[in-house]
Amino acid sequence: MNTLKLKNVNKHYGKKKHALCDFTFEFTNGIYGLLGPNGAGKSTLMNIITDNLLPDKDGGKIYWNGEETRILKDKFRSCSGFMPQQQNLYESMTAHTFLNYIAALKCLDKKRAEKEISAIIERVELTDSIDKKMGGFSGGMKQRVLIAAAMLGDPDLLILDEPTAGLDPKQRVIIRNMVSDLGQEKIIIISTHIVSDIETIAKEILFIKEGHLIDSGTIPELVEKVESGEKSLENLYMQYYGELQK
Ligand SMILES: Nc1ncnc2c1ncn2[C@@H]1O[C@H](COP(=O)(O)OP(=O)(O)OP(=O)(O)O)[C@@H](O)[C@H]1O
Ligand SMILES: [Mg+2]
């Protein structure tokens, strides 16, 4: 069993913007859905966990299986996979070259890399495009290459920042099933705006609002808190964030 523990993590952008406020949570193996409106702090949190962004000075601590990630550094990186929200792809590379490059960064040997790449690429239905330059890919195809890249090396911690944004319904289901299959033996954290992407697969849901973790729990626990209407996650979302959308 893996554990990822966040203790009082804080992040300011400049002096005024407090994007993450005393974020404390412990993740264990399973799938976690991160919900919150635009600007809530989801990407900030994910970028900090994956060491792509520094928290504030003295802005809390993150532990992977009991050891500080800041000290583990490469050891932690090698067991985590991250799909960032921003699509930064090398447009002139083929998907195959790109995935080989990511596999090399993750120190996978060539044989294992080839085996994993062809299996993953088949699951995300990109086999026919693997030798094409990514510059010519649709948004959804690029998205799927990035998901495949995050999954390479079978990481114990998988962090996916809006993996299904821009995907058509069929591809959303494929990704959901892939994540669901993987979820038992690793920690997977997924941010999304599409509640149906996670409501059947998530062990727990975290609600973030203006940098604060405002609630978390299993779906049955959470939906009990719906005050009016059907006891659904979507209605709880509206209860927590509805007023922001006026
Ligand atoms: N580089 C930055 N400089 C200044 N402010 C930033 C920066 N990045 C994010 N912010 C601010 O921090 C807050 C949290 O942003 P973040 O991107 O983490 O939100 P999010 O929950 O991922 O939103 P979205 O659903 O739109 O992806 C927002 O108010 C945002 O404007
Ligand atoms: Mg974001």
Ligand nearest to the CA of 207: 1
Nearest-CA residue for ligand 1 atom 6 is: 13
Per-residue pLDDT tens for 145-164?
999 999 999 999 999 999 99
Per-residue pLDDT tens for 84-108?
997 778 899 999 999 999 999 888 9
Beta strands in 14-150 (DSSP E): 17-28, 30-35, 61-64, 67-68, 80-83
- Taking residues 174-187, what's their average pLDDT? 88
- Residue 218 token pair: 């299993």
Per-residue pLDDT tens for 196-213?
889 999 999 999 999 999
Q: What is the pLDDT of residue 21?
A: 96
Q: 166 pLDDT band (50/70/90 cuts)?
A: confident
Percent of the chain residues past pLDDT 90, beyond the cut: 74
**CA dist., res. 97 & res. 23, Å (int):** 38
- Taking residues 205-222, what's their average pLDDT? 97
Mutate to test the pocket of ligand 1, among 11, 42, 189 (most ligand atoms within 8 A of CB): 42
Q: What is the pLDDT of residue 244?
A: 46
Q: Is the shortest distance between the CB of 34 and ligand 1 below 6 Å?
A: no
- Residue 185 token pair: 């033996």
Helix, coil or strand: residue 208: strand
- Residue 26 token pair: 């412990």
Q: Is the shortest distance between the CB of 13 and ligand 1 below 6 Å?
A: yes
Q: Ligand 1, residue 43: give the atom nearest the CA.
A: 22
pTM score, two decimals?
Answer: 0.94
Per-residue pLDDT tens for 10-46?
999 998 999 999 999 999 999 999 999 999 999 999 9
**CA dist., res. 144 & res. 93, Å (int):** 15
Q: What is the pLDDT of residue 185?
A: 87
Domains of the chain by start residue, with CATH: 3-79+156-245 (3.40.50.300), 88-154 (no CATH)
**CA dist., res. 35 & res. 217, Å (int):** 12
Q: Contact at 8 Å (CB) between 83 and 46?
A: no
Q: What is the pLDDT of residue 246?
A: 41
Mean predicted lDDT score pLDDT of the chain: 92
Q: What is the pLDDT of residue 243?
A: 66
Beta pairing partners, 67: 64
First to last CA, the chain: 43
Per-residue pLDDT tens for 49-90?
999 999 999 899 999 999 999 999 888 988 999 999 977 788
Q: Contact at 8 Å (CB) between 55 and 18?
A: no
Q: What is the pLDDT of residue 245?
A: 46
